Amino acid sequence: MRVGIDATCWSNPRGYGRYARGLLTALLEQPSPQHEYVLFVDHHTFSQFTMPEGAQYVVVQTHESPTQAASAEGRRSFADMWAMTKAVARTPLDVFFFPSVYTYFPLVTRARIILGIHDVIAEDYPQVVFPDRRQYYLWTLKGVAARLQANYIVTVSDYAREGIMRRFKWPQHKIWIVGEAPDSVFQPIEDARKVEDALVEFGLNRSTRFMMCLGGLNPHKNLKMLLEVMAELRAESEFSDVHLLLVGPAETDTFTPGAHNIRALVQQLGLEDAVHFTGFISDEAVALLLNAARVLVMPSLAEGYGLGAVEAAACGTPVIVTQNSPMPQILEGGGLFIDPLKSDELQTALTTIFSDESARLGMGQTALNRSRALTWPHAADQFRSLLERTEQENP
């Protein structure tokens, strides 16, 4: 079976890119004789990143990186999409897989099409995802076109599948789950010196009590509520030393349209000395910081998966995560799960974490134990079994 894969989202620094890199690397590291992989990638990505061995590559000339052009505030040119379309049309394939709808382009092929949809956040919360109505309509049009071409949908959790069924009226048997996992760099780290060095870089030390957020500063991440609750928490003498580390792109761009507002709110609340913006840093640095954090906080309006929470769990760090996600099941007992619209629930959860060390440590150990069941090789096995099902259903 020849399997074509859209690898243009490889360069995406956020969750879609992490998913593509983790899954495709695991697929190629465990080759199966019945599957031949052909990865289609733009020349920007191919020249800037080291791609895994074990696949045939079709490198396509485009004017712009599809990852950048396909963001919420941008759009891909017709010429670039047509270049990708032609490249696939020239290649005999049995199956074609889009790891994310973000970088979808129309296909002219007889191959069975598997479309990756990670969540329905854009459909459920368009007012906080899109800068204007035009961008919403463009996203909707792309999504409709992609789903019309797709034979199957792959998503990352039961929670995400339920959202897809609700929003798009797809039958459950056509929506498959291929989960996510933490990369191997995320693990408990015993080298205290390395952890200390990472903290010092951001004005912290080993005795600093701090919570962490991972990812962009997008409005749906609900950081406004977190900052307001943090200000109230620090007003109490017992918690006046609590800090927040925001890890991820910290400047306003196509992927973090809410960064300016978050920085302004930090100043308005008088939290300039307590909130630290790291900007984009390596996974190795993130793992070191997670090992020192008291808790990973993810109060998003919703998450199709919540990979950052799993990465924290793999470091033995407990989590406070939105209940609108699969994390209450995946990390059961490994943290506290809140209604993202109720600030009092977040405040209670933070109070528990920073006042009950025994409970915090217990949740961290449970989170670590739960995370060990999540691996990219397992996700690759899930995907391969789905490829076999497409062949059985379409002999």
Per-residue pLDDT of 109-124, as tens digits, reads 999 999 999 999 999 9
Tell me, yes or no, whether 187 lies in a domain.
no
Same domain (yes/no): 38, 54: yes
| Residue for token pair 């990390």 | 331
- Can you spell out the DSSP letters for 104-144? ------SSEEEEE----HHHH-HHHH-SSHHHHHHHHHHHH
72 has a pLDDT exceeding 50: no
Tell me, yes or no, whether 186 lies in a domain.
no
Same domain (yes/no): 216, 299: yes
Kindly report the pTM of this predicted structure. 0.92
Same domain (yes/no): 234, 296: yes
Tell me, yes or no, whether 9 lies in a domain.
yes
Same domain (yes/no): 226, 148: no
Same domain (yes/no): 171, 241: no
pLDDT reported for residue 357: 97
Q: 147, exposed or middle or buried, with CB in 10 Å at 0-12, 13-18, 19+?
A: middle
Angle, alpha carbons 355-360-365 (nearest 5°): 170
Tell me, yes or no, whether 256 lies in a domain.
yes
Same domain (yes/no): 382, 338: no
Tell me, yes or no, whether 149 lies in a domain.
yes
CA-to-CA separations, 316 to 245, 269, 288, 311, 364, in angstroms, rounded: 17, 31, 12, 9, 5
What are 27-68's pLDDT values in tens digits?
Answer: 999 988 999 999 999 999 999 999 999 999 999 999 888 776
Same domain (yes/no): 348, 384: no
249, 158 in Cβ contact below 8 A?
Answer: no
Same domain (yes/no): 158, 220: no
What are 181-218's pLDDT values in tens digits?
Answer: 999 999 999 999 999 999 999 999 999 999 999 988 88
Radius of gyration of the chain (CA): 21
Q: Report which of 330, 328, 335, 329 is spatially closest to residue 353, judged by C-alpha positions.
A: 335
Task: Report the chain's mean pLDDT, rounded to a whole number.
Answer: 93
Return the top range by mean pLDDT from 128-142, 215-229, 358-372.
358-372
Q: 296, exposed or middle or buried, with CB in 10 Å at 0-12, 13-18, 19+?
A: buried
Which domain CATH number covers 319?
3.40.50.2000
Same domain (yes/no): 51, 64: yes
Tell me, yes or no, whether 104 lies in a domain.
yes
Same domain (yes/no): 200, 109: no
- Its domain, for residue 245, covers 192-371
Q: How many CA atoms lie within 13 A of 82 on its CB side?
A: 3
For residue 5, which phi and psi values (nearest 5 degrees)? -135, 130
Same domain (yes/no): 162, 222: no
pLDDT reported for residue 274: 97
Same domain (yes/no): 219, 115: no
Tell me, yes or no, whether 242 lies in a domain.
yes
pLDDT reported for residue 292: 97
Count structural domains, the chain.
Answer: 2
Q: How many helices (H) and strands (E) does the chain have?
A: 17, 13
